[in-house]
């Protein structure tokens, strides 16, 4: 949802966001049987003095727990720019997982889960793994690892690609066309952008000045292993979208 507002300040924007998230919860297939929603993170980005590239790859806030101890999971994300802030040029990139991943056929769910866990063991050397970068989830599911391991010296998460063209090529090599699946939103001062963080990957094009963007993440703090497994099953359902018959025109 792109709510053009205007919202006078972040507290007002967050009240709206939490009202929308609460209203969506009864219809939320991913969130069924999950704990009550709580704030798991509130940030103002980017931090002062931090060098920022003009591109951010598609990702899921807080990541998707593949195999992990108790971990915070972000269910929904809200983005806001203060009403009195100068107009921005940076755009938020949005991709619905089912729209992108449904472009091809994947292995059956048990094999898919096994591939993700094996990929995690290669990345961390343990069975504990949380992944937020969409391209890594895709190459794990495709069993075609190509990106540098996250444990490589000097590697920083989010620096997998230098441009959208590089990310697009990586996905295209695995049968996914980013063009047509991606939307780009220019968030103006006072506006609020809300999205389903576990059904949508997001990123950025352009550079934001320090402390431009307010971000609120609502989800499940310290989610236990059993609930993580249920959550993973429902998120990975996006990989099965291409195997389902098209809905009846009736």
* pLDDT above 50 (res 219): yes
Helix, strand, coil shares, percent, the chain, to 5 = 30, 30, 40
Spatial contact of 134 and 201, defined as CB atoms under 8 Å apart = yes
- pLDDT of 114-160, one tens digit each? 999 999 988 887 767 999 999 999 999 999 999 988 766 666 777 89
pLDDT at 248 (0 to 100): 46
Strand-pair partners of 202: 59, 94
Higher-confidence residue: 244 or 3?
3
- pLDDT of 151-201, one tens digit each? 666 667 778 999 999 999 999 999 999 999 999 999 999 999 999 999 999
The Cα–Cα gap between 135 and 128 comes to 19
pLDDT at 244 (0 to 100): 58
The Cα–Cα gap between 172 and 8 comes to 42
């Amino acid at each position: 949802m792109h709510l053009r507002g205007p919202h006078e300040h972040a507290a007002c924007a967050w009240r709206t966001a939490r009202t929308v998230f609460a209203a969506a919860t009864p219809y939320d297939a991913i969130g069924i049987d999950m704990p009550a929603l709580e704030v798991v993170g509130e940030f103002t980005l980017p931090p002062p003095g931090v060098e920022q590239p003009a591109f951010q790859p598609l990702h899921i806030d807080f990541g998707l727990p593949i195999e992990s101890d108790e971990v915070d999971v972000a269910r929904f994300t809200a983005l806001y720019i203060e009403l009195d802030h100068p107009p921005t040029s940076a755009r938020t990139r949005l991709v619905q997982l089912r729209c992108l991943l449904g472009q091809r056929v994947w292995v059956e769910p048990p094999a898919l889960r096994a591939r993700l866990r094996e990929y995690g063991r290669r990345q961390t050397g343990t069975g504990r793994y949380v992944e937020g970068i969409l391209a890594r989830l895709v190459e794990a599911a495709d069993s075609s690892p190509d990106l540098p391991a996250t444990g490589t010296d000097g590697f920083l998460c989010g620096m997998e690609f230098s441009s959208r063209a590089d990310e697009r090529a990586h996905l295209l090599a695995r049968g996914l066309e980013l063009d047509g699946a991606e939307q780009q939103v220019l968030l103006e001062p006072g506006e609020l952008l809300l999205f389903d963080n576990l059904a949508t990957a997001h990123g950025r094009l352009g550079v934001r000045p320090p402390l431009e963007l307010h971000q609120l993440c609502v989800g499940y703090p310290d989610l236990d292993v059993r609930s993580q497994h249920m959550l993973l099953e429902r998120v990975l359902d996006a990989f099965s979208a291409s195997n389902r018959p098209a809905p009846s025109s009736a």
